[in-house]
Amino acid sequence: AAWDWRCTTKQPGKLYIEIFKWPAGQIQLPAVKGEITKAYLLADAKHSALKFQQTAQGVTIQLPEKAPDAIASVLCLTVNGELAAADKTP
């Protein structure tokens, strides 16, 4: 089965996500612990910030219409605090 995206690398304060199937305009990711402070595409040498919204339900990141890389584009999230999947238990 083909994946639309997957988390590939985690460093202290950073999470890298490979996007294989480029979504139209935005990508929805599961909720994460820690405050996301910046989202950018690794292919962008200036690391220009992408607009995003983080809620308890997940993270929505606004993307350019066209993927920067033909095969897989890498999205980087910079996070303050613990970097892990959020616990969704009530």
> Structure pTM?
0.84
Amino acid identity, residue 61? I
Is-contact 38 75, C-beta < 8 A? Answer: no
| Domain regions of the chain by residue span | 5-80
Which CATH number does the domain 5-80 belong to among 1.10.10.10, 2.60.40.1180, 3.40.1410.10, 2.102.10.10? 2.60.40.1180
Amino acid identity, residue 64? P
Amino acid identity, residue 47? H
pLDDT (tens digit, 9 = 90+) per residue, 4-31?
A: 877 777 778 899 999 999 998 999 998 8
Is-contact 11 78, C-beta < 8 A? Answer: no
Residues 30-55, mean pLDDT to the nearest whole number:
94
